[in-house]
Structure 1
């Protein structure tokens, strides 16, 4: 289990992480989410003893990371996959790590095969693509057969086959009873991989819950409507708390903040024909955007709608 107790990190007058308190339990894949600049990488570095907290503490398996006598066999970590000597081969990079813990050659060969790198084990890392570098980083994290995995953006640079591989691997590791803590900006992938979520914004904890509960409570409601009088229906429905946007065609709308019954009554009262009126399940991406909208570091202006809604 990973446990954070009021973790706080300041750099001068800037507070990057503030009073984070959460647990990551064995047997689940826990997604660690937040906008850019939220403090995710700093938090992971504090968990691994790479950054000292200004206040608070953390434990992995009931102990601070630095107190583990053989950390590779307790915690596997991937923070920066490219931090490898470029002149070494994949095999010799892993063997150098293995020698520090008395890990046998057979285990090195096993994780190379697990990561799909056996055919390039003798190649120098400087020639690796981003995806191959990620695979090598994951192989290194798995080298000591650890009970806990802490992975920062492990799918970055992977092709679709690689994304499927890491998704299957993480879920399999959790099924074995391991603790899996993984950050990602890919909401669609987290929706398929994670069981639990820890979400932060501007260094503060925003949510610590299951994926299902988070989507149900934070995602709001949305209804897809198809009507030849989309513009007229928009004008009738717009109001406080109700958002109307275009969706896949000039006659299609996505309406948030009300339900299909209200939309149907308004349309019927004004003789507006409806070709489709379908409640939409909230997505993890939309729920995340709704929760973190006040915590984003950089904002962009949405384009003006076109077609019937212009």
Structure 2
């Protein structure tokens, strides 16, 4: 089940100023975990709300499986979503919260018990949600998203509040859901987790699309990918690497962008230049993300004044 945004635009209050989301188009394919990234204020939450029919776009349209979310006859069985984990009546138990949702779609009790077990909440199923920690609330929200055994899953900050075991659990779960052929779209600020979980990335800034690509491609295209070269003849090799960007980390060490390690090795061999190290290096997704979104950050920090923090 494909998720698509077609020219989505959202303006609030009818004002002609900058839109929260501007002409946004992307596709989330089945069988992959797609990370939805952007700085604070980029329009991620607004976009997710439009995908799920909670906000009406000013123009454009959002479809899931070729139709608007609200037109699905049994939406919980088509699309599972978590936008706000605390959107639960605090006086209800986890079990009764899920049973109330299940009754709206004719979902059996056995499925409720299954997702409670899947989320690790069986032992606290009878406890009132108001006593749940943030992490337990997240687990309950994810259990609710999976209740209808949906073909598409949309989660906003799913690892928020989870301990390391919980983070590993959700990472493994999302990957397994994608391997089953489901469509998985997750929004997160944790770049390190996205690097381990996502297959594809959609990055937005100031409401506009900045990138629609893989993690590897984003890192490479941002300039965060380079090849480290250690050679006693660095100056001569540097002169031969025409068309590449090279920087000298030390007199015998070069960082090369724009050429792959085999290409550098062949050039060095052709000119009898010895190499002590030739290793591809990839900077973090976080650095690539920062490079890409630098001009789209809504709130730029300023340098601390002299004497600050004393």
- TM-score tier, shorter chain, comes to 0.7 to 0.9
- CA deviation profile, 1:119-176 (whole Å, cap 9, x unmatched): 0000000000000000000000000000000000000000000000000000000000
1:117 aligns with 2:121: yes
Deviation at 1:210, TM superposition (A): 1.3
How far apart, CA to CA, are the structure 2 residues paired with 1:297 and 1:7?
A: 20
Map of 1:300 onto structure 2: 301
What secondary structure does 2:36 align onto?
A: strand
Deviation at 1:282, TM superposition (A): 2.4
How far apart, CA to CA, are the structure 1 residues paired with 2:59 and 2:285?
A: 32
Unmatched 5+ residue regions in structure 1? 227-240, 246-252, 262-274, 305-310
What secondary structure does 1:166 align onto?
A: helix
1:191 aligns with 2:195: yes
Is the CA contact (8 Å cut-off) linking 1:2 and 1:59 kept in structure 2? yes
Deviation at 1:255, TM superposition (A): 7.3
Deviation at 1:220, TM superposition (A): 3.1
Is the CA contact (8 Å cut-off) linking 2:224 and 2:282 kept in structure 1? no
What secondary structure does 1:181 align onto?
A: strand
Is the CA contact (8 Å cut-off) linking 1:219 and 1:288 kept in structure 2? no
Map of 1:163 onto structure 2: 167
How far apart, CA to CA, are the structure 2 residues paired with 1:222 and 1:302?
A: 30
Deviation at 1:219, TM superposition (A): 3.7
Deviation at 1:281, TM superposition (A): 1.4
Deviation at 1:218, TM superposition (A): 1.5
Deviation at 1:280, TM superposition (A): 2.9
Is the CA contact (8 Å cut-off) linking 2:219 and 2:225 kept in structure 1? no
How far apart, CA to CA, are the structure 1 residues paired with 2:224 and 2:38?
A: 19
What secondary structure does 2:35 align onto?
A: strand
Is the CA contact (8 Å cut-off) linking 1:4 and 1:20 kept in structure 2? yes
Aligned to 2:208, which of 190, 204, 224? 204
Aligned to 1:89, which of 79, 90, 93? 93
What secondary structure does 2:120 align onto?
A: coil
Aligned to 1:65, which of 66, 69, 76? 69
Is the CA contact (8 Å cut-off) linking 1:197 and 1:209 kept in structure 2? yes
Deviation at 1:221, TM superposition (A): 4.2
How far apart, CA to CA, are the structure 1 residues paired with 2:30 and 2:170?
A: 18
Map of 2:80 onto structure 1: 76
What secondary structure does 1:5 align onto?
A: strand
Report the CA distance shift for 1:276/1:175 in structure 2 as closer, same or farther (over 3 A): closer
Map of 1:5 onto structure 2: 6
What secondary structure does 2:299 align onto?
A: coil
How far apart, CA to CA, are the structure 1 residues paired with 2:279 and 2:63?
A: 47
Map of 2:22 onto structure 1: 18
Q: TM-score, normalised by structure 2?
A: 0.80
Deviation at 1:254, TM superposition (A): 11
Report the CA distance shift for 1:148/1:243 in structure 2 as closer, same or farther (over 3 A): same
Is the CA contact (8 Å cut-off) linking 1:222 and 1:254 kept in structure 2? no
What secondary structure does 1:112 align onto?
A: helix
How far apart, CA to CA, are the structure 1 residues paired with 2:246 and 2:280?
A: 15
CA RMSD of aligned residues (A): 2.7
Map of 1:233 onto structure 2: none
Q: TM-score, normalised by structure 1?
A: 0.80
Map of 1:38 onto structure 2: 42
Report the CA distance shift for 1:243/1:115 in structure 2 as closer, same or farther (over 3 A): farther
How far apart, CA to CA, are the structure 1 residues paired with 2:3 and 2:144?
A: 20
How far apart, CA to CA, are the structure 2 residues paired with 1:243 and 1:300?
A: 29
1:49 aligns with 2:53: yes
Report the CA distance shift for 1:254/1:8 in structure 2 as closer, same or farther (over 3 A): farther
How far apart, CA to CA, are the structure 2 residues paired with 1:282 and 1:201?
A: 21
1:131 aligns with 2:135: yes
